Amino acid sequence: MFEALHHGVLGRALKNGLLQVRWWDVRDYADNKHRTIDDKPYGGGPGMVMMAKPLREAIRHIQAQRDKPNWVVYLSPQGTLLKQPGVVRLKEKLSTHNLVLLCGRYEGIDERLIMSMVDEECSIGDYVLSGGEFAAMVVIDAVARLLPGVLGDSTSAEADSFSSANKGLLEYPQYTRPEEDEGMRVPEVLLSGNHEAILRWRNRMALERTLKKRPDLLNSAQLSAEEKEILAELTGDENE
């Protein structure tokens, strides 16, 4: 499954050693010849539960191979919803810890493993995946692109939607050549060469888009007095 990581920006970063990703198969830590790692839930109910012991052995084995302490993140729909500040925090964790992304399957993991070995539980969205692997790849991708050298232009992650440099707003719209496409022209201001006017326009568009597409983000956006004024004006427009 993790073959997907070897493409594009992430693939290049792995090849250049800007980050390292390894994986361990929990079945290698099973204590029976059938390599069983799950069992029926106590109290009954559908599905199977992953046993604590093989997972604990795997996590301890990973720790024994590393000089930094583990930071174990269990990917689960019950975790804290991952947002950009959480991604930044995980990136910063990497300087002192190994991130161990624990991917569950089946109905879940024995609660005692979560209580004793997991440092945080992380969800990538309010929907249920059939396993944590895709969620782990989402985390790896989002964290990796913040690492120095992974994106060609070191400032491009800063301008992203949600980023703090972008004040927690969505990104402004982008255009490239040609100037006219199927009768639609690039906004004049972007051709003006007036950098101040361009900045103002982009800022306004970021506000307008966020108001239209993700108004919830405005509650926690860090806005200047001028931006609040623009927003009030835009909200006024909407109510007309």
Interacting residues toward ligand ADE by CB under 6 A: 75-77, 123-125, 127-129, 132, 135
Shortest CB 88 distance to ligand ADE, Å: 18
Q: Exactly one of 107, 119, 120, 227 is catalytic; which is it?
A: 107
| Opening angle at CA 218, ends 81 and 203, nearest 5 | 120
The residue (of 10 and 135) whose beta carbon lies closer to ligand ADE is 135
- ∠ CA 99-21-54, rounded to 5°: 65
State the nearest-atom distance from the C-beta of 50 to ligand ADE, in Å: 12
- Give strand pairing partners of 181: 184
DSSP state of 109: B
Look up 89 and say whether it is catalytic: no
DSSP 4: G
Nearer to ligand ADE, 123 or 163 (CB): 123
Nearest CB to ligand ADE, comparing residues 76 and 98: 76
* Catalytic site includes residue 148: no
Query: Is 38 a catalytic site residue?
Result: no
For 19, the token pair is 């980050």
Q: Of 77, 110, 202, 208, which one is the catalytic site residue?
A: 77
12 is catalytic: no
User: What is the side-by-side strand order in the sheet with 98-103?
Assistant: 98-103, 70-81, 120-123
Min CB(108)–ligand ADE separation in Å: 9
**Catalytic choice (119, 120, 121, 160):** 160
Q: How far is the CB of 47 from ligand ADE (least distance, A)?
A: 13
Closer residue to ligand ADE, CB minimum distance, 132 or 168: 132
> Nearest approach, Cβ of 159 to ligand ADE (angstroms)?
27
Return d(Cα 17, Cα 28) in angstroms, integer. Answer: 27
Q: What 3-state DSSP class applies to 110?
A: coil
Q: Which of 12, 56, 105, 145 is catalytic?
A: 145
Angle at 87 between CA 166 and CA 94, to 5 degrees: 125
- Contact between 179 and 219 under an 8 Å Cβ cutoff? The reply is no
- Closest to ligand ADE by CB, 124 vs 230, is 124
Report the C-alpha gap between 138 and 125 in whole angstroms.
11
Return the active site residues.
Answer: 77, 107, 145, 160
